[in-house]
Every structure is written in C-alpha cells, then in structure tokens.
Amino acid sequence: MLKYKSLSRAVFFLLLVMNCAVNFSCSKPSEKTKAKFTVKDDAGIEVSFDSNPVRIISLGPNITETIYALGADSVLYGVTEFCDYPPAAKTKVNTGSYLSPDYEKISSLKPDLIFVNVSGVNNPTYQSLKNMGMKLFLSNAKDINGIYKMISDIGIITGKKAAADSLIRTISDELKIRGNTSDADRKALILISLNPLMTTNGKTFISEITEHAGLQNIYSGEMLEYPSVNYEDVISKNPGYIIFPADTFNVQQNETLIKEIREKLGNTDAVRKDHIILIDDDIMFRAGPRVTVALKTLREKLKK
C-alpha cells in the first residue's frame, strides 16, 4: 500500500507498505464506562484498560477518520501531518509524520493511549514510543476484515461500541452488492505506484474494493501484497481497465502521469478504449470508513 500532497501522500503509503455517518456524542470522560477490559491489537498483544482513555493520539490517517466517524474526537489530542480528513482533524495538534514523529510534542500532550499504524512491534517508531513509556495500541488494517476489527477495537476502547457496530453494518451492507466480474474485459490493473510500477494482490482492501465494483484484479494471485511488476507482463495480461489512485485535484500532474501510462501501456485494451480511471488516493489508499465511498466512486466511473 502519485495536494500527501500528492507525492508525499503516495510516499507515505508506499513506506507503510514496504515496511511490512454515525451520530456525534459529547460524553464527558467522567460519564464513560469505568469497567476494566482488554483488547487484543493487531500484533496479538492484549492491551489492558482500567477505563476508557481520555487523551488519545492517532498516528494513522485511517485511524483518525475512524475516531471521528465514531464521534470520539473529543478525546483525540494529536494526529499526524497526513490526517486531513475530516477537515476538523487539521485543528488537532500535529505530532509529525509516521516516519519522523515529534516525540517531544507527543510527550507534552501526555496521552494515555497512542494508536500506531505500523507493520509490527519491531518498527522503530513503535519501539521509540514504547521506550518512552507510552501506552500503545497497534492497528494495521490490511483488508476489509481488518477494517472491521479496527473500527470495533476503537469503538470498544473509546466507549463507542454501539456506533462502531452501526458503522460496520453500514459498510457490510454496501459490500454485499457485488459487480459482475465474469466478462473478459473486466480485467483491471490497480496502480499503486507508476515509478516504480507497483500493484496489489487480492488480499488487500484496495483489491477487495475493486472486485466488489465489478473488476478482476489481474495480479490477485501474487504472493506479495504489493508486488513490483514490469510493463511487458502487464501488456501480456492485457487489462481492460487501469485503476489509478491519484490526487484528483492536481490536473497538471495527472495529465503527465496519464500520458506516461498511455505511452508505456498503449498496447492494452484499457488504453485503447480509454478506460483509465482516476480515483482520489485518500479514499482508495486509506483502510478506513470511506471504503464505501471508494466503492461507490468506482461504480459510478464504470458506468461512464
């Protein structure tokens, strides 16, 4: 797993890869459930809580979006520089990036929990925060089921379980409707990066969204989640569509990228039929509540 703002956003996503609306509630901390509970994070660690955290830092844009979607943002005190949705997230304290967080600022916020979006506990950021004595919860959603778990975990931890259950049902209901992928011309190349040429296999939420929209991922059988491929192999597989997550507001950059796609993949049906679909990289690259927005957007673009 190309405005981050735009290249920086793609670099952030690729580094993560390679390193591997619900009602708003303003409950006061004193009104939250005080029962002790534990939640297992994505590293398999049982994290214990005496009460719901009241000072949270999110080190993942998808985590931040989920906290807002559940109406738990009143306890959110810090976010990364890439946490730009919803717009209100930009009013929270900026704690730096995933690769180079501002540890001094993080410490000054006195968080009682930090959500980290990393591939494992050996990650340098995770280890540095751990050595500072911070309480951590590792969340690294890779597929749709991982997104459900993330939403559920955050809901339990923040005392928003009912909102989390409702959001999961909403996403699940949308995903029950699947497009027809049986036609030969529904084969698709999902571009994660153009330079280097990188795609995704069938085990990621990005591929799952594409399949639900009615397209076949031509690299779904690859072993690596985000493999590098070559142009010759793509041409031999002859996709009928090319899905390209990009900054849809950066017209000039997109024109340059599309020109390169046309030049290097001109012998594919996707280029010959002008089936190059640009979709906002924020919604396509973030394993969070807006997966349904990505799905609906793809469906609409396929109708044109």
Do 137 and 76 belong to one domain? Answer: yes
Do 49 and 83 belong to one domain? Answer: yes
- Give the dihedral sign, CA 203/205/206/208: positive
Q: Of 142, 174, 206, which residue constitutes the final position of a domain? A: 174
Residue 137's domain is classified under what CATH number?
A: 3.40.50.1980
CB 275 within 8 A of CB 269: yes
User: In what helix (H) or strand (E) does residue 173 lie, and over which residues does it extend?
Assistant: helix 161-175
Q: Of 151, 174, 197, which residue constitutes the final position of a domain? A: 174
Looking at residue 29, its pLDDT comes to 42
Which residues form the domain of 115?
Answer: 7-174
Do 14 and 147 belong to one domain? Answer: yes
pLDDT tens per residue across all 304 residues of the chain: 444 344 455 545 555 554 543 333 334 443 444 548 999 999 999 999 999 999 999 999 999 999 999 999 999 999 999 999 999 999 999 999 888 899 999 999 999 999 999 989 999 999 999 999 999 999 999 999 999 999 999 999 999 999 999 999 999 999 987 766 556 579 999 999 998 999 999 999 999 999 999 999 999 999 999 999 999 999 999 999 999 988 888 889 889 999 999 999 999 999 999 999 999 999 999 999 999 999 999 999 988 7
- Residue 2 domain-assigned? no
Looking at residue 303, its pLDDT comes to 83
Task: Tell how far CA 94 is from the center of its chain.
Answer: 19
Do 197 and 56 belong to one domain? Answer: no
Looking at residue 99, its pLDDT comes to 80
CB 115 within 8 A of CB 126: no
Do 73 and 138 belong to one domain? Answer: yes
Q: Of 123, 147, 174, which residue constitutes the final position of a domain? A: 174
- Residue 124 domain-assigned? yes
Do 201 and 151 belong to one domain? Answer: no
Do 188 and 167 belong to one domain? Answer: no
Do 192 and 147 belong to one domain? Answer: no
Do 203 and 278 belong to one domain? Answer: yes
Do 292 and 192 belong to one domain? Answer: yes
Looking at residue 222, its pLDDT comes to 97
What residue spans of 205-275 are helical by DSSP H? 205-213, 231-237, 251-264, 269-272
Do 140 and 202 belong to one domain? Answer: no
- Residue 13 domain-assigned? yes
- Residue 220 domain-assigned? yes
Query: How many domains is the chain partitioned into structurally?
Result: 2
39 pairs with which residues across the strands?
47
| DSSP SS3 for 140 | coil
Do 159 and 22 belong to one domain? Answer: yes
Q: Which pTM was predicted?
A: 0.86
Question: Which residue type occupies 35?
Answer: A
- Residue 1 domain-assigned? no
Q: Tell me how far apart the alpha carbons of residues 239 and 269 are, in angstroms, rounded to a whole number.
A: 6
